[in-house]
A and B are shown apart, each in its own frame.
Chain A
Amino acid sequence: MKLLRAILVRLATMSVTLIGAAVVVFFVIRVVPGNPIAMMLPPGASEDDIARLTAHYGLDKTLFEQFGIWLSGVFRGDFGTSISLRQPVMPLVLGRLPATLELAIFALVIAVVIGGVLALTGVRHRETRTETAIDVANGIGLSIPDFLWALILIVLFGVLMPVFHISGRISPSLDLPFVTQFYVFESFARLRFDLWWDLLKHMFMPALALAIPLAAIISQLLKQSLKETMHLDYVTLSRTKGYSENHVILSEALPNAMLPTLTLIGVQFTFLIGGTVIIERLFSYEGLGNMAIDAVINRDLPLIQGIVIVFALLFTIINLVVDMTYALLNPRLRHA
């Protein structure tokens, strides 16, 4: 019962946050100088044409009227029409979202694998040079943001040792039989491993750049909690029972040490998604973030609003899921 109430309270604050975000974005971008309508018409367009098109997009009304119209549309799932692409915003955004989600999830998987392996290695070889080396690597991984990692990877593996693709989502020469925008999942489901491999080869560099800082955070925190757990009595007990060190770490210590890391991963995942914006730009990856930057450059107000709201919605949903998972996994909260 308490859990249900907590969820309801969370949903209420979530909607306040979302509406707040909508208000901030709506009014911030209306201050943008430059008439978006004048930009989309050919240079010789008459004043009359501009006025007509301005009215068509509802930009001649007062700000508050515009906001009311937009918000009531949003509740009906209608985000208006993109000015630069001349299509409804909703399908445009939904068309790009899967590419970004696939990239983010792939990056998350890489981060968990690297971070987990480093943490386990560090604990297995604690108080040795190996652990110091891992500590130093963690420190560097944490300090340098994804943007710089991306550039470093481009120089190293895109130019000096060209093993990976550094541009685009898939090789343009391949024909694409896809019906959904989830290319990676769909190509796998259809057993088209040639396409699947090509997609992964394109995604690997941007995903790795996004993953490195998160991997360092995971490695650092997980190693810390593992080391604390290793001192607990039940771990000592299983060691005296004669289990091997590997067994003790993996089967006894890890399940208990994982919880703080899991919560952290949830929070950090939203930061990772935020990072996709510039990373997609760097790698010319056709995702939501790349579209967002174009939208800002083109002063495409409806599209900017739509994309920002979708990001905000994504962030709040992830936070909610993290909190709920935490409540479910943590017996002390479950029975509270």
Chain B
Amino acid sequence: MLDGRGTVRRPLGARLWLSGCWLGIMALLALFAPLISPHDPLAQDLFAGRLPPFWVRGSDPAFLLGTDSLGRDVLTRLIHGARIAFAVALIAGLATAFVGSVLGLLAGYMRGWVDVLISRLVEIWMAFPPVLFAILLIAVLGTGLTSIIIAIVVIDWTRFCRVVRAEAMNQSAMDYVSSAIVAGRPRRDILWREILPNVLPTIVVLLTLEMGIAVIVEAILSFVNLSISTDAPTWGGMIAEGRTSIHQAWWVLAFPLGVLFLTVLSFSQFGEGLKDRFDPVLR
């Protein structure tokens, strides 16, 4: 936000707990997916296609949340989808945070031509529609988990870079940095030992937001059929499948959509909650 300072009363720390719980449950499901899930995520059973969820007439208790058009268990695929979603969120989020923060720190602390170069690059990046850029990159890199992660890093580093650069500039103007310079500390030392720790809370908050974004990007790429493979149980792929059979089997779309909604909401609320708690700068 342009100017977030002010006296907004926040509805306490409840959202930090709620979102944390949801993310924790999802992470556990992702970790233990093969142990928990009732079926094989890829197993097809054309005779059990489009079974409705358990409370609707005509359902099969073996498939609690119903099946898709190929007879694959929706619940199982949701649980396995959490693995891919969290893998992407974690790896892509951390990698994006790393690249963007390093460039932002360098630009904000070194200033001069480094800053000009990096800032110009950010401006060029901002001139692309991100979704189109992502699709373009996947077309170049080929589909697959690694490509998705690379695409997210290449597109979203600017998000960290802009905030961290501004924050590094603020920190550089503070007295503790001046005294470190006077004390004769080397520049590199000041950047990594003095400024970085003070920018870190900002980076952590941005990271949780970025993890939610990464999950969405994966879903969007699955949706345009450019993610991992059409067979792999991704939430985006399930949504894409559900979109085509929405009038015959709404549950194929509704459940992954609901899970995706809650997960993205939780990532962002978790970040906001952390911000309220720990970071006086972003607030």
Contacts and interface: CB of A to CB of B under 8 A. Distances in A.
Interface residues of B, number: 47
Interface of B: 1-4, 6, 8, 11, 15, 120-121, 123-124, 126-132, 135-137, 139-140, 142, 212-213, 216, 219-220, 223-224, 239, 243, 246-247, 250, 253-254, 257, 260-261, 264-265, 268-269, 272
B1 A148 contact: no
B257 A315 contact: no
A260 B120 contact: no
A152 B257 contact: yes
A324 interface: no
Given A132-B11, A296-B136, A311-B127, 5 more contacts: A17-B127, A148-B264, A159-B247, A221-B1, A224-B4
A32 B269 CA distance: 38
A200 to B, nearest CB: 23
A160 B143 CA distance: 34
26 contacts: A17-B120, A17-B124, A20-B120, A21-B124, A24-B128, A25-B128, A29-B139, A29-B140, A32-B140, A33-B142, A140-B265, A143-B265, A143-B269, A144-B265, A145-B264, A148-B260, A152-B257, A155-B253, A224-B3, A263-B2, A274-B132, A277-B131, A281-B224, A289-B129, A289-B132, A292-B135
B220 A151 contact: no
Given A152-B257, A273-B129, A315-B126, A260 B140 contact: no
Nearest to B137: A28
A27 to B, nearest CB: 10
A168 interface: no
B134 to A, nearest CB: 9
Contacts of B136: 25, 28-29, 296, 304, 308
Interface of A: 13, 16-18, 20-21, 24-25, 28-29, 31-33, 132, 135-136, 139-140, 142-145, 147-148, 151-152, 154-155, 158-160, 217, 220-221, 224-225, 227-228, 260, 263-264, 270, 273-278, 281-282, 289, 292-293, 296-297, 299, 304, 307-308, 311-312, 315-316
Contacts of A136: 11
A274 B254 contact: no
B3 to A, nearest CB: 6
By DSSP majority rule, is chain B's interface helix, strand, loop, or mixed? Answer: helix
B124 A147 contact: no
A158 B120 CA distance: 43
Contact of B212 (A143, A282, A296): A143
B11 A135 contact: yes
B247 A312 contact: no
A260 B2 contact: yes
Contact of B140 (A31, A227, A292): A31
Given A18-B127, A29-B140, A147-B216, A293 B224 contact: yes
Contacts of A264: 1-2
Nearest to B139: A296
A274 B156 CA distance: 14
A308 B128 contact: yes
B131 A13 contact: no
Contacts of A220: 1
Given A151-B243, A263-B2, A278 B269 contact: no
A21 B11 contact: no
A315 B265 contact: no
B2 A312 contact: no
Contacts of A33: 140, 142
A299 B127 contact: no
B246 A224 contact: no
B220 A152 contact: no
A296 B135 contact: yes
A266 B175 CA distance: 36
